[in-house]
Structure 1
Amino acid sequence: MAAVLFDFSGTLFRAETAESWLRAVLTETGHTLPESELTGTVRALEEAGALPGGAVPVELPADLTGLWAVRDESAELHRAAYTGLSRRVPLPDPGLHDALYERHMAPAAWAPYPDAAEVLRTLRERGTGIGVVSNIGWDLRPVFRAHGLDAYVDTYALSYEHGVQKPDPRLFAVACEALGTDPREVLMVGDSRPADGGAAALGCRVHFVDHLPVTERPDALLPVLDLMS
């Protein structure tokens, strides 16, 4: 195996909790909610699936079904899908829906898994090519830079930049081509079997990790080092 492709959310990084997300935005915008109301609002946002990288919608509104299916193909579609879900939940100010969307793109809203740096650093030391392949509607490179992991990544293949989303093999092909590597010599690491499993169509080997909170998944990436040795 000559290279490894990693998914972003749920694989190398995990988004903050919905409670942290809402509290941060309320603080930034000078709004307040009574604790009892805040708890209910957090629950409603989670059930709506309004936090990208968080829980999926419990029930997808019929008018957003089509948009949801292609949400990662452009920045505009991504914003429309998630703010559309957020707006199902009453907030003190309508402007908070856009503020919530902006917050989820901030480096502070993301935390790397505890073993991410070690795995990426070790792969780099071995001369292994490293790419990030993500279904996303915004530029995640600043997140990697802020957390000191950008230096380990050779290329990024982001769905919104190419108008195609996983499991479409074309997105994985973009990364393999950028790395100059035959897909049959590439390992794809991700948390979604439906999405990340698409790499197998190119001949990539695929390894899955669980999308768990950062505190509950300390070392799930370490087996990648053995798979590449």
Structure 2
Amino acid sequence: MKGVMFDFSGTLLRIESTEQWLDGALAERGLVLADAERAELVRRLEWFGALPGGVAPSEVPAGLAELVDTRDLTPELHRAAYTGLTRAAGLPEGLTADQLYDRHMSTTAWAPYPDAEPTLRELRRRGIPVAVVSNIGWDLRPVFRAHGLDPLVDAYLLSYELGAQKPDPRIFRAGCEALGLAPQDVLMVGDHLAADGGATALGCTFHQVPHLPVAARPAALTPVLDLVGF
């Protein structure tokens, strides 16, 4: 492999927990919930998959199904899908779905996996170009800058900017072109078999990592170094 494409959420970085997301938004507005009410709201938010990058939904309300399927094509669709899921969970007075949505885009809501920076740095040392290929509805570059990872990334291919979302081959082809490499020379690394694994249809090799909290996944990215050249 002569180049690597990485997914963003659940691969290089992970969003804060639903509890932290909710608590942060409540604290910003000076709101306090009773323990039982807070626990029930966390449960409902996770049931509907309201936190982008968090727990996958167990139920998508019928009126939101199409929005959820196409959410990563534009910023408007992304916000509409996730605020809709948040409203389905029900919110206390004084807290809105848009306020919660805005919080998930903050740089402090994301944390790199422990081996993300060392892996990217070693790839840079070896001269292996790196692209971030993400299904997303907002600009993640500030998150990479805030965590010191931006200098280690050569290109960003974001679904909302390209109008194509994984597993559409167009987004992977754009990634390969940005790296200046043929697909058969590029490794795609991601946590989602269907979305990220779609790169194999173009000829890329795929390496899957588990979608786990940061503390529970210390070294899933380091095997990537064995798959690329020196």
**Percent identity over paired residues:** 61
State the shift of 1:160 in Å.
Answer: 0.6
2:12 counterpart of 1:12: yes
How far apart, CA to CA, are the structure 2 residues paired with 1:116 and 1:44? 31
Q: Does 1:147 align with 2:147?
A: yes
Shift >3 Å, 4+ stretches:
none
* Residue matched to 1:168: 168
3-state SS of paired residue (2:79): helix
Structure 2: runs of 5+ lacking an equivalent: none
- Shift in Å, 1:201: 1.3
Contact 1:31 1:92 survives alignment (8 Å): no
Question: Match of 1:32?
Answer: 32
Q: Which amino acid aligns with 2:23?
A: R
User: Helix, strand or coil for the counterpart of 1:42?
Assistant: helix
Does structure 1 retain, via aligned residues, the 8 Å contact 2:26–2:95? no
1:217 positional shift? 0.5
Query: Residue 223 of structure 2 corresponds to which residue in structure 1?
Result: 223
Residue in 1 that maps onto 2:178:
178
After TM superposition, list the pairs within 5 Å mapping 1:45-64 onto structure 2. Answer: 45-64=45-64
Per the normalisation by structure 2, the TM-score is 0.97
Matching residue's letter, 1:158: L
Which secondary structure does the structure 1 equivalent of 2:226 belong to? helix
- Aligned equivalents of 1:172, 1:139: Cα separation in 2: 18
Give the aligned partner of residue 97 of structure 1: 97
Unpaired segments ≥5 residues, structure 1: none
Aligned residue type for 1:188: M
Amino acid at match of 1:138: W
How far apart are residue 93 of structure 1 and its match? 3.0
In 2, Cα distance between equivalents of 1:94 and 1:159: 33
RMSD over equivalenced CA pairs, Å: 0.9
Deviation at 1:60, TM superposition (A): 1.1
Please tell me the residue identity of whatever aligns with 1:61.
Answer: P
CA gap of 1:27–1:196, structure 2 versus 1, over 3 A, is same
Counterpart position of 1:107: 107
Deviation (angstroms), 1:89: 2.0
Which amino acid in structure 1 is aligned with residue 108 of structure 2? A
TM-score (norm 1): 0.98
How many residues end up aligned between the 2 structures? Answer: 229
For residues 122-174 of structure 1, what are the alpha-carbon distances to aligned partners after superposition, in whole Å with 9 as ceiling and x for unaligned? 00010001000000010000110000101100000000111110000100111
Q: Distance in 1 between matches of 2:179 and 2:227?
A: 19
| Counterpart residue number, 1:84 | 84
| One-letter amino acid matched to 1:127 | G
Tell me, what secondary structure is at the counterpart of 1:131? strand
- Measure the CA separation in 2 of the matches of 1:77 and 1:55: 19
Instruction: State the alpha-carbon separation in 2 of the partners of residues 92 and 213 from structure 1.
Output: 27
Q: Within 5 A, what are the aligned runs for 1:194-209?
A: 194-209=194-209
| In structure 1, C-alpha distance between the alignment counterparts of 2:169 and 2:55, rounded to whole Å | 25
Residue 160 of structure 1 aligns to a residue in which SS?
helix
